[in-house]
Amino acid sequence: MAADGDRRPAGTAAADPCPDPAADRPDADADRPLVAHRHRPGVLLAATAGLFLLAVVAAGYGLRAWGAAAGTGGGWTDWAWAPVALALLVQTVLYLAERPVRADAGQQRELDRLEVAVLVPLYNEDPGYLRTSLASLLAQTRPPQSVHVVDDGSTTDYASLRAWWLTAAERAGVRTTWQRRANRGKRAAQLAAAAHCPGADVLVTVDSDARLDPRALHELLQPLADPRVQAVAGVVLAHNNRHGLISRITDLWYVTNQLVDRSALSPLGAVMVCSGSLAAYRAAALTDHREAYLTETFAGRPVTFSDDSLLTFYALRRGRVVQQPTALVFSAMPERVGHHLRQYLRWMRGSTIRSLWRVRYLPLTHPALLAQVLRWYQHLAATATAVLLLTRTWRTGAPLPPVLLAVPLLIVAGQTLRYLTLRRSDQPLRSQLATWALTPLAVAWSWTVLRPVRWYATLTCLRTGWGTRQHGPEVALAPAAG
């Protein structure tokens, strides 16, 4: 599962340098590289500008019509949107300013000399996803020096897959270890993996269901040419994005979040979370905080989730954290509503804790702290504005004009157009457009289901149970449909 911030990493597919005819491969394309690339035609930028302009016009017209119907001539609530609109404008300028980092020839030689080790924590992963994840590591144009897999007490038997992997890695010239240990959680598994590569300059976290684009590692390392950069986030796409409505909506929502929110923070060096599916850290970000990473507590309770955001937090305290929009990885997303809600609930509980950490420990002038405060304001303002508008409707008896309801939809539709800037080899354009067309449903789901879940997560952030995978894999590799 992508960005699953838990005890299990994620992985998906890639070319296999050592095919194993005996291995169970439910996906017929498991041994072919899964490739994606950025595609930024001017028509998408024009469409985004057009949708935002329509939103401004609709808001102005709707507020005037509503004020006239209510006999109030507008009012101060009309201006409640102004700070939110300004924040949206700044965010839009920032995410449009994001560009992939490119090292020059001298910097590239330095990057090529880096000792890169990949950490793969494993807990009850589907064998099909795990195999394609590991195979994709061996198909990289810039292979890692070593890969270290730690089975954190899975109930699934990986004996044959382990044998295949050890042979494949040896043939590819990649040092590797695979250890099985009693279940102690993802953080302990990562530290156990890191213990096998003490000389590494860069530690790359990869989830056990994460299938890397063949150029993913090369692209991920590019920003590290700047010594100020301490961590780099890759961009996660859903491997199983055509396996049902939930996976499609999640893919649309998750990709948009990365290409809007994270892309806006990246030019500031203030990315708040590097997804566990694919992220690179200078080794000291983990090794200098071993004890704190393993023993984090909140209100006296041990915190075992939100590991990705904690590693990112350590990196933020040391320097810049950026996103490389061309470092692409495919990860398994939930396919059932229950799984999706449990995952989101865990993420939001972790987000609540981490946001408090940022405000408490980051310097007052740190852009990530300022972004965190702005994010709190946006969530509160959006909720408060909705309450104010509904209250005014009830008080005056004037119904909310339908054109006003279209404003948030137009804004989000402009943002979700970013989803179309990533083209992938396993999805025709018509399928991608069909996913983008789900934007109204995604907006409705976010406001009616995910927003209440977010508030519930904030109120129950002391509950630190995992909620997924205790009884085995929740998503299995299968041929894509449609």
Query: Residues of 459-478 as b/e, b for ≥16 C-beta within 10 angstroms?
Result: eebeebebbbbeeebbbbbe
Q: Residue 18's pLDDT band (boundaries 50, 70, 90)?
A: very low
165-219: per-residue pLDDT in tens? 999 999 999 999 999 999 999 999 999 999 999 999 999 999 999 999 999 999 9
Q: Is 109 exposed, middle or buried (0-12, 13-18, 19+ CB in 10 A)?
A: exposed
82-105: per-residue pLDDT in tens? 777 788 888 899 998 899 999 999
Listed as own residue / partner, the contacts of 223-228 with beta carbons closer than 8 Å and 24 or more positions apart are 223/101, 223/322, 223/324, 224/111, 224/114, 224/280, 224/282, 225/101, 225/103, 225/104, 225/107, 225/108, 225/110, 225/111, 226/101, 226/320, 228/269, 228/319, 228/320
Q: Which CATH number fits domain 1-470: 3.90.550.10, 3.40.50.1100, 3.40.50.300, 2.40.160.40?
A: 3.90.550.10
Confidence (pLDDT) at 217: 98
Question: What counts of helices (H) and strands (E) characterise the chain?
Answer: 18, 12
The whole-angstrom separation of Cα 232 and Cα 345 is 25
Residue 75 or 178, more confident: 178
In this prediction, residues 269-291 reach a mean pLDDT of 96
- In the predicted model, is pLDDT for residue 481 greater than 90? no
Residues 6+ apart with CB under 8 A from 93: none
The enclosing H or E element of 193 equals: helix 186-194
In the chain, where the domains are located: 1-470
The whole-angstrom separation of Cα 185 and Cα 464 is 12
Note whether 250 and 334 are within 8 A (CB): yes
20 to 69, 149, 287: CA distances (angstroms): 71, 19, 36
Ranking 37-41, 207-211, 300-304, 475-479 by mean pLDDT, the lowest is: 475-479
Confidence (pLDDT) at 31: 60
Q: Closest Cα to residue 435, out of 242, 236, 254?
A: 242
Residue 380 or 298, more confident: 298
Q: Is 429 exposed, middle or buried (0-12, 13-18, 19+ CB in 10 A)?
A: exposed
One-letter amino acid for residue 284 of the chain? A
Confidence (pLDDT) at 70: 63
The mean pLDDT value of the chain amounts to 87
Residue with tokens 């939001």: 348
Q: Residue 464's pLDDT band (boundaries 50, 70, 90)?
A: low
Residue 284 CA from chain centroid, whole number? 23
3-class SS of residue 251: helix
Q: Closest Cα to residue 432, out of 252, 245, 263, 260?
A: 252
The whole-angstrom separation of Cα 64 and Cα 66 is 5
